[in-house]
Amino acid sequence: MSEMNISCRDRVMVLAPHPDDESVATGGALQAAVSAGSEVRVVYVTDGENNPWAQRATELRWRISQRDRIRWGARRRREALAALKCLGVASSRARFLGFADQRVTEALLGGMHASVDRLAEELAEYQPTVLFMPSLEDRHPDHGATAILARLAMTRVRWNARPHVFAYVVHGPAAAGLDRCPAVCELSRPEREAKQKAILVHGSQLRLRKGFLLRFAEETETFASGPFAPTVSAGHPLRFVRARGDQWSFAFRPTARMALDRPTLLLVSQGDGEMGSLRVTLPWRAGCRPLRDPGGGGIVGEIEARRQDACLMVTITSPALRHADFRLAKLDLPLRRRLGLFDRWPWLSFAPSRVPSLQLPSEPSVASSGEPVVTLVES
């Protein structure tokens, strides 16, 4: 691991999906930036207003109205500004984008151009040289979606110099992504105390999660750094196989747990300056069927599935995937999302020509097209 190096010449930006992420994930890094004389900006993607269980526990009320949520979001903004003060960051260095809490994925897929452009404006105006952002491997849906928004937005900015990116995980395995150029920020005792004080300022979050949040004040801050790399989760039931033109193919291993909650495959692509997204309800049996737009019901492509051992080989054809060179996929469980639970599996990213975590058998089977059939290796 390498120690983080921030200088007075740097312009540091932290992307925080919610108020409190700036403290728990980057409280030490922000203090290091302030001590170095760097310019600092913290961009909050949401106000954290849709936080019903914490609000119920804190305010001792069961019914949460829209007015209650607005008031809660305003409280969380005030807590964020007070926490920044504990870390030595002036309130004028904060920006609030006002995206809907718990619905950043919907902003990504439903209003992709508007949401990406909004974040791109912030990046283009500030021109950070150092950017802290969530990791794709964070299991909170808002964190994963913020990571994708940031990746997409970065491709739309005309940079003076591209920033050095540090990715953090708040919800998920502590070592997620750390096989890729890990960097650390060591905190002194006074810095740990300041970080703890900043975390405690987020009083709205302490009734249910005080122990979880304070643990971050005792740990060294660790980030994945360097260029974005394809990611693969060893236990993920989905594997990317290939992408050719407007066809993407996956190997999908259905599980009994999914039987009650039909998984949806979320796809994001970018290429030739265009962005596209698709929602695909994964099939459970072999066959071919039209792919319909979830919003309007019109046909936007085709899905073909065929059995191979315990897996389904799923090929999705749609113009939205054409010429894509920026590829991301997520397996979404609708019931889990409706219950407000974290993602069971993180987003996957893959390069155009890369075939991760798959291997051909020693005597490959041959499909009707004459191409080898890729076999999924059990983890």
Domain ranges of the chain: 2-225, 242-376
Q: Does the pLDDT at position 379 exceed 50?
A: no
Which of 24-38, 66-80, 204-218, 288-302 is predicted least confidently? 288-302
| Cα 378 from chain centre | 25
Q: Work out the percent of the chain whose per-residue pLDDT is above 70.
A: 82
Asked if the 2-225 domain carries CATH number 3.40.50.10320, the reply is yes
pTM of the complete model:
0.87
* Predicted local distance difference test score (pLDDT) of residue 341: 74
Mean pLDDT of the residues in the chain = 84
Q: Does the pLDDT at position 82 exceed 70?
A: yes
Q: Does the pLDDT at position 52 exceed 80?
A: yes
Q: What are phi and psi of 176, to 5 degrees?
A: -60, 125
pLDDT band at 259 (very low <50, low <70, confident <90, very high): low
Q: Are 200 and 320 in contact (CB under 8 A)?
A: no
162, 133, 169, 164: which is closest to 5 by C-alpha? 164
Q: Are 219 and 184 in contact (CB under 8 A)?
A: no
Distances (CA, A) of 4 to 30, 114, 169, 269: 12, 33, 16, 32
Q: What does 49-98 look like in DSSP terms, one character per residue?
A: ---HHHHHHHHT-S---HHHHHHHHHHHHHHHHHHHHHTT--GGGEEEEE
The DSSP bridge pattern shows strands 264-271 and 247-252 to be unpaired
Residues 6+ apart with CB under 8 A from 220: 184, 185, 186, 187
Report d(CA 52, CA 86) in Å as an integer: 27
pLDDT digits (tens, 9 = 90+) for 123-137: 999 999 999 999 998
Report d(CA 22, CA 268) in Å as an integer: 27
Q: Which residue do the tokens 């698709």 mark?
A: 278
* Predicted local distance difference test score (pLDDT) of residue 217: 95
Q: What amino acid is encoded at 79 in this protein? A: E
Q: Does the pLDDT at position 86 exceed 70?
A: yes
Q: Does the pLDDT at position 339 exceed 70?
A: no
What is the side-by-side strand order in the sheet with 11-16? 2-3, 182-185, 221-225, 164-168, 130-134, 11-16, 39-46, 94-99
pLDDT higher at 228 or 166:
166
Average pLDDT over every residue of 24-40: 97
Q: Does the pLDDT at position 364 exceed 60?
A: no
Q: Does the pLDDT at position 179 exceed 70?
A: no
Which of 25-29, 40-44, 206-210, 355-359 is predicted least confidently? 355-359
* Predicted local distance difference test score (pLDDT) of residue 243: 80
pLDDT band at 72 (very low <50, low <70, confident <90, very high): very high
Q: Are 171 and 140 in contact (CB under 8 A)?
A: yes
